[in-house]
Structure 1
Amino acid sequence: MRPTAAEMAAARARTLPDVVGPGLSVLFCGINPGLYSAATGHHFARPGNRFWPALHRSGFTPRQLHPSEQDELPAYGLGVTNIVARATARADELTRAELRAGGQELTRLAARCAPTFVAVVGITAYRTAFDRPKATMGPQEERIAGSRLWVLPNPSGLNAHYQADALAAAFRELREATNR
Structure 2
Amino acid sequence: MFLWNFIENLRNIVNRIEMATLQNGSSPVVKKRGRPPKIKPESGATPSKQTKITDNMKKTKRTVDRFKGVTKEELMTRLLPDRIKHGLDILIIGINPGLFAAYKGHHYAGPGNHFWKCINLSGMVGKPVTSDNDVELMEYGIGFSTIVQRTTPSAKDLTSKEIREGGKELIEKIKIYQPKIAVFNGKGIYEIFSKEMFGKKKKDFLFGRQAERIPGTNTHIFVMPSSSARCAQFPRAQDKVHYYIQIKRL
TM-score by length of 2: 0.66
Residue in structure 1 matched with residue 116 of structure 2 by the alignment: 52
2:206 corresponds, among 136, 139, 155, to: 136
SS in structure 1 opposite 2:211? strand
2:247 corresponds, among 169, 174, 178, to: 174
- 8 Å Cα contact 1:96/1:128 also seen in 2: no
Cα deviation digits, residues 46-67 of structure 1 (max 9, x gap): 1011111111222211123121
Name the CA distance, whole Å, in 2 between partners of 1:74 and 1:41: 16
- 8 Å Cα contact 1:96/1:129 also seen in 2: no
Residues 128, 160 of structure 1: CA spacing in aligned structure 2 closer, same or farther, 3 A cutoff?
Answer: same
What is the CA-CA distance between 1:7 and the residue it aligns to?
A: 4.5
Residue in structure 1 matched with residue 39 of structure 2 by the alignment: none
Root-mean-square deviation over aligned CA pairs: 1.5
- 8 Å Cα contact 1:114/1:147 also seen in 2: yes
- Residues 1:24 and 2:88 are matched in the alignment: yes
- Residues 1:164 and 2:164 are matched in the alignment: no
Q: Which runs of 5+ in 2 are unaligned?
A: 1-65
- Residues 1:151 and 2:230 are matched in the alignment: no
Name the CA distance, whole Å, in 1 between partners of 2:86 and 2:192: 28
Name the CA distance, whole Å, in 2 between partners of 1:64 and 1:52: 9
What is the CA-CA distance between 1:68 and the residue it aligns to?
A: 1.5
Q: Which runs of 5+ in 1 are unaligned?
A: none
Q: Which amino acid aligns with 1:155?
A: S
Provide runs of 4+ in structure 1 moved above 4 Å: none
Which one has the largest radius of gyration?
Answer: 2
- State the structure with bigger RCO (CA 8 A, min sep 6), 1 or 2: 1
TM-score by length of 1: 0.91
Count matched residues: 176
